């Protein structure tokens, strides 16, 4: 909104300083500061409101150290993240940009799914919350919206440059903006992969949209559930999301900069620069929430926050065509999710084969396994963050390691 206001003031009245709102870097900084201010101003009030409404976490005794001390801690703190993300994004981003619209829709959509889940747990006193099949239906719905929009919307294109005869030539660049399902593959020199190749020549390319939508659904479901599972100890999901958000923000900036993208030989995506502002608001919102959620937590984000974080991260990665880098960027989420799948699958297999279920880990998700081994959760969270930073650096390094 402020972008349009100050552009009007600059064009109509030549208002001093209004032109600075045309710069993505300035608006990104404004988004970070605003998100932190929103969290600081409204965070405590939201926590007090949740406490007054007796919206507290019901804790099952899993035998973890310090676990029962958290009983009654306000949950549904994801509202702090939602407010701190949506307000600066609406203020500083171009609201006509299709990438921003998709990011806003994914934020509200997954936040609503999480809210329904938390509402059933808290007010209906059903510890299971929203049935898993309904969560998956909601995630599939978002995957359909994102996949169909990115495939069919005319605004979503990549730019292909014609090769120059001389690198020092003063002849202007010759390029074409095309519709494509190309995506980036890490560690590969010519690192563009086209989803149409998954048809293996059995179907015409016109069916590529079906493959692409299925990929979008899978990625959104996996990352959203991975973030949800990671949210098990104080500060883990929020801090990990800060690292991921920063990484995606850097990748979005590089992909939207003509000069840098050509220098790095990465895909140039016109108009995707606005996602830098959204990523900045995302990081600020997570940092602001971490103020209250770090050990010992004053509030839990609940599914309202965790499902939303994963869903937004997945959509951002898809929008800048870096979804195949998710195993690196979201490595913590992936490991946590896989640990649960392995534990449940092995337990069922051994119960069927031997008559009693056996376990791979002391407890899943993986962070509970280490808690059972005696690691304090504050130290455990810090070490997970360090691993997340290492994975983020490796993901950025893939821009040159091919």
Cβ neighbors of 215 (< 8 A, separation 6 or more) are 147, 195, 323
* pLDDT tens for each residue of the chain, 402 residues long: 888 888 888 878 888 888 888 899 999 999 999 999 999 999 999 999 988 887 766 666 566 666 666 777 888 899 999 999 999 999 999 999 999 999 999 999 999 999 999 999 888 877 778 888 999 999 999 999 999 999 999 999 998 776 654 455 555 667 788 888 999 888 887 778 899 888 887 888 889 999 999 999 999 999 999 999 999 899 999 999 999 999 999 999 999 998 898 888 888 999 999 999 999 999 999 999 999 999 888 999 999 999 999 999 999 999 999 999 999 999 999 999 999 999 999 999 999 989 889 999 999 899 989 998 989 899 999 999 999 999 999 999 998 887
The whole-chain average pLDDT of the chain stands at: 89
CA 312, 317, 321, 325: dihedral to nearest 10 degrees? Answer: -160
Beta bridge partners of 192: 184
For 160, the enclosing helix (H) or strand (E) is strand 158-161
**Burial of 66: CB neighbours in 10 Å, binned 0-12, 13-18, 19+:** middle
3-state secondary structure 332-389: HHHHHHHHHHHHHHHHHHHHHHHCCCCCCCCCCCHHHHHHHCCCCHHHHHHHHHHHHH
Q: Whose structure tokens read 């830098």?
A: 276
Spatial separation of the C-alpha atoms in residues 241 and 286, rounded to whole Å: 7
Residues 6+ apart with CB under 8 A from 7: 18, 21, 22
Tokens of 215: 């990929």
Q: What pLDDT is attached to residue 165?
A: 46
**Token reading at 30:** 């404004």
Residue bearing tokens 């005794």? 61
CB atoms within 10 A of CB 396: 18
For 25-45, the pLDDT digits (tens) are 999 999 999 999 999 999 999
The pLDDT > 90 percentage for the chain reads: 63
DSSP state of 296: S
Question: What is the C-alpha to C-alpha distance for residues 379 and 390, in angstroms, rounded to an integer?
Answer: 17
Q: Which helix (H) or strand (E) holds 291?
A: helix 274-293
What are 48's two structure tokens?
A: 């007090």
Q: Would the CA dihedral through 109, 115, 120, 121 be positive or negative?
A: positive
Q: What is the pLDDT of residues 93-134, one digit of tens each?
A: 999 999 999 999 999 999 999 999 999 988 887 777 888 899
């Amino acid at each position: 909104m402020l972008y349009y206001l100050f552009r009007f003031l600059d064009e109509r009245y030549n208002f001093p300083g209004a032109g600075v709102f045309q710069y993505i870097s300035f608006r990104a900084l404004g988004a970070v500061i605003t998100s932190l201010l929103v969290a600081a101003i409204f965070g405590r009030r939201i926590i007090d409101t949740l406490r007054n409404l007796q919206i507290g976490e019901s804790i099952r005794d899993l035998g973890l150290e310090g676990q029962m001390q958290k009983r009654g801690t306000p949950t549904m703190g994801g509202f702090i993240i939602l407010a701190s993300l949506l307000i600066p994004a609406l203020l500083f981003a171009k609201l006509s940009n299709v990438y921003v619209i998709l990011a806003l829709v994914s934020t509200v959509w997954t936040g609503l799914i999480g809210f329904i889940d938390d509402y059933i747990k808290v007010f209906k006193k059903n510890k299971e919350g929203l049935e898993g099949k309904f969560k998956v239906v909601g995630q599939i719905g978002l995957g359909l919206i994102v996949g169909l929009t990115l495939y069919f919307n005319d605004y979503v294109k990549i730019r292909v440059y014609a090769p120059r005869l001389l690198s020092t030539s003063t002849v202007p660049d010759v390029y074409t903006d095309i519709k494509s399902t190309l995506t980036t593959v890490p560690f590969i020199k010519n690192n563009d992969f086209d989803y149409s190749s998954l048809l293996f020549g059995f179907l015409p390319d016109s069916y590529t949209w079906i493959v692409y939508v299925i990929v979008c659904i899978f990625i959104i479901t996996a990352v959203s559930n991975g973030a949800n599972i990671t949210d098990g100890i104080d500060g883990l999901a929020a801090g990990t999301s800060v690292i991921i958000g920063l990484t995606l923000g850097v990748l979005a900036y590089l992909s939207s900069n003509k000069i840098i993208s050509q220098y790095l030989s990465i895909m140039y995506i016109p108009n995707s620069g606005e996602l830098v502002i959204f990523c900045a608001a995302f990081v600020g919102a997570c940092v602001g929430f971490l103020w209250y959620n770090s050990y010992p937590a004053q509030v839990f984000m609940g599914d309202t926050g965790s499902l939303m974080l994963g869903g937004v991260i997945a959509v951002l990665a898809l929008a800048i065509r870096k979804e195949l880098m998710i195993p690196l960027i979201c490595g913590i989420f992936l490991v946590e999710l896989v640990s649960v799948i392995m534990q449940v699958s092995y337990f069922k297999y051994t119960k069927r084969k031997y008559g009693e279920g056996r376990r791979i880990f002391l407890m899943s998700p993986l962070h509970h396994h280490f808690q059972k081994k005696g690691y304090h959760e504050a130290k455990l969270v810090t070490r997970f963050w360090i691993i997340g930073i290492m994975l983020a650096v490796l993901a950025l390094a893939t821009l040159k390691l091919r």
